[in-house]
Amino acid sequence: MKLFLILFLSLGCNFVFAETNYNNTLENFAKTQILEKYSTVENKEAGEKIDIKASPLSKIKTYKRCHGPLKGRVVNEKLKPHTTVKITCPDPDSWSIYVRVRVKKLLPVVVASQSLSKNQILNIENTKILYLGKSRIKSGSFSLPAPLYGSRLKRNISKNKVIKNRDICIVCKNDKVNIFAKNNRLSIKTSGIALSDANIGSTIRVKNIQTQRVVVGVVKGLKNVQIQF
């Protein structure tokens, strides 16, 4: 009797384990349907990814293993934060289930890879990319780290904190800069001193070291200012 009971319990445990594994198979199949649907979306943002999590199927209710290929369909054909996938088994004794899936769009954002101090220079070692939900990314952040290399921090930044435009200066006050002046026929390069902080695309006043003349230009890159004449 004891031997029979042990064998029965052992078989029961194996059955539950097998059914749990099949539940995982169904959940993963639902996620593949989301990925396939996402691959057809055309208006993705640059560098965008998605995070997909299927709601666990009930362990109380079991699903008969399907011998034919499972069929899946995203309900309403739309990807929403909370999407439902219908899975159908085409066997003679067919069945269908609905799996709820959470879909979160993630975007790349540059963060500090370590705690950084004011006036520290950003580089490949102290910055990194994290993927965050769109709602957590505020205006003024950066999606690529390379354009920030060589810029200087204007305040302390804690580890994993998003680096924003207001936190840095590509050209900082009193920096020595290269001044490029050009028109359709002529191009001139000279040196100057920045009179304020500025970032790429911002206008800035700089003093020509040779002539002491103050001119207004646009920051084009690290320590580079372009003016028109």
> Residue 199 gets which letter from DSSP?
-
Task: Residue 63: count other Cβ atoms within 10 Å of its Cβ.
Answer: 16
Angle (nearest 5°) at CA 193 between 119 and 147? 50
145 Cβ contact partners less than 8 Å away, ≥ 6 residues apart: 110, 122, 124, 127, 128, 129
Q: What is the pLDDT of residue 96?
A: 93
**Eight-class DSSP state of 162:** B
10 HSE (CA, 13 A, CB side):
6
- Using the predicted structure, report yes or no on whether residue 221 has a pLDDT greater than 60: yes
Give per-residue pLDDT as tens, 161-199: 999 999 999 999 999 999 998 777 778 899 999 999 999
Domain ranges (residues) in the chain: 14-43+53-103, 107-169, 176-228
Q: Looking at this protein, which amino acid is placed at residue 173?
A: K
pLDDT in tens, 50-84: 999 999 998 777 788 999 899 999 998 888 899 99
Q: Determine if the pTM surpasses 0.85.
A: no
Task: Please state which CATH number belongs to domain 107-169.
Answer: 3.90.1210.10
Q: What integer pLDDT is reported at residue 6 of this predicted model?
A: 37
**Which pLDDT belongs to residue 59?**
78
Check if CATH label 3.50.50.60 holds for domain 176-228.
Answer: no
Q: Which residue has the tokens 């990194």?
A: 128
